[in-house]
Amino acid sequence: MEEIPACVLSTGRGAVRGLPFHFHSLAIAPEHMLSAAADARFHGGAPRRRRPRLRSCLASPPASGGGGGDCRESEKARRLLVERYQDGVSKRYILDGNSKLQIHQEKNEYMVNTLEEEEEDANSSIPRAIKDFVLPAGFPGSVSDDYLEYMLWQLPTNVTGWICHTLVTSTLLKLLWDKIRLTQAVGVGSFTGTSAAASAAAIRWVSKDGIGAFGRLLIGGRFGTLFDDDPKKWRMYADFIGSAGSIFELITPLYPGYFLPLASLGNLAKAVGRGFRDPSFRVIQNHFAESGNLGEVAAKEEVWEVGAQLLGLSIGVFIMDTSGIKSSYPTLALTWLGVRLLHLWFRYQSLSVLKFRTVNLKRARILVRSHVAKHTVPDYVTCNEEENILTWERFLHPQISFGVPMERMLGEEESSDVVDRLLKLYRNEKYILFLNPIGTGGAAFFVTFKEAATSMSVLRSLWQAHWLDKNQLKQDDVFSWLEESVLALEHGFPDFLKQMEIAGWDQNQIILKVPKEPILYTTTSLQHFS
């Protein structure tokens, strides 16, 4: 029977992800210390089959000869710890009889954590080298559940995007080259004339880029608050705007005399699209980085993006070299249109798989509507699947307008009595909700917010509006209807929050923004200004 070294290994892994080695503590013990029953207790109830290990001398060689007692003397040394690396290398730190630290290095395949490898191989069919290259360390535990599915949809999305880019860019360059040759043909066929034509073409190219840069400047400065609420929608609209810009560039060969205005307009639209795209994607990347590994998520996204770019450019060059496309502009335009539509479809599919846990206005409507109708709240997966990416808030039902001035809210009922009744009705709320008469399309709700209103105030107003829409009472007295809805809010909203918690929603992740203006100051708050 093979001899087992007299030591017990505690197989605790390092707590930090991505450590290149496993850290083990060693303690000297008799061989009978770890019995079969104890071993079964640590490994699921069945005795674990031990692999035979060759005995080796771990302490430093003795000062005097005596070959037979070397290993026994080594057992008297104090073994401190072992570092195990993924390639099977082990470093043993030993304190000898003279209190000197000895370090012994050896490579044994059995030293690798076989349990971890078996678990990894069982859960993943991706080769380890490829997995480490394209996926964040610790995948899948270090990122959100929808990460891989999104990236798999992103690959064909980016490939088709680069194909379209190749077709459009080649069209613009061909038009500029034709202009240079035309300049030479009309009599300037000298080196000076060629240089002047090339300079003019370069100026046009740079001019269109400069004009387009204003688009990104405008979006970043004016619309920066949009992207945290609904990154999926704005990422999709960024592709629509970019597609419109590519159309302007694609039609420049039809109107060569208007190259600069058409190309500049196209570049402006594409720059606006980039202004919507980049901030939206930063929010999506932050959603993936559940372990705080945003930098690594962004770096791995670059790996996927560059791979798609190389593939897309290669396919684009192959398409451009096709005789039918090379000689026929209509064929090229139709090819671009077909690839672009496929690109937009891929983009929509990639965004549809995202599962955000935050509560924005669209998802809040879904949660509130479900609770008012069924007294239940869907979980984040179901809610994201039901969410419509392309729908604008103003087209959702019921129609709710936030941040409405009191004058518009009251309409023809501008009287002190109405205002006084509204203030008394909503004295315990941080908002005031009113509605117009019920028409064929249902009631339209107007909400204005008081000072110190929060995201929870917006959520409460949504719940009340959906309750009013569902319980459309046939009565002329609007205030009686509103009073009943406020009572329903006081009794039903606590249960709504409880159902949200049961469904796994975090109330700290509610990002319903209160409009900056107008803000309603009540009589109590105005006393601070007097």
Distance CA 275, CA 244 (A): 15
**Exposed / middle / buried, residue 87 (Cβ in 10 Å: 0-12, 13-18, 19+):** exposed
Q: pLDDT tens digits for 400-455?
A: 999 999 888 877 665 668 888 899 999 999 999 998 766 556 788 999 999 889 99
pLDDT, residue 175, reads 74
| Residue 213 Cα to chain centre, angstroms | 26
Distance CA 166, CA 336 (A): 10
Q: pLDDT tens digits for 181-210?
A: 555 554 444 445 556 656 665 666 666 666
Q: Where are the domains of the chain?
A: 146-184+200-353, 361-503
Beta bridge partners of 365: none
pLDDT, residue 261, reads 84
SS3 string, 379-410, reads: CHHHHHHHCCCCCCHHHCCCCEEECCCHHHHH
Place of tokens 């039918």: 324
3-state secondary structure of 159: helix
3-state percent breakdown (helix, strand, coil) of the chain, nearest 5: 60, 10, 30
CB atoms within 10 A of CB 183: 18
Query: What fold is seen in the domain 146-184+200-353?
Result: Growth Hormone; Chain: A; (1.20.1250)
Amino acid, single-letter form, for residue 454: T
pLDDT, residue 46, reads 46
DSSP state of 471: S
pLDDT, residue 36, reads 44
Which residue ranges in the chain fall short of pLDDT 50?
Answer: 1-74, 111-119, 122, 186-191, 526-530
Distance CA 419, CA 421 (A): 5
User: What ranges make up the beta strands (E) of 31-75?
Assistant: none
pLDDT, residue 199, reads 67
pLDDT, residue 180, reads 59
| Interaxial angle between packed helices 231-250 and 259-288, expressed in degrees from 0 to 180 and rounded to the nearest 10 | 160
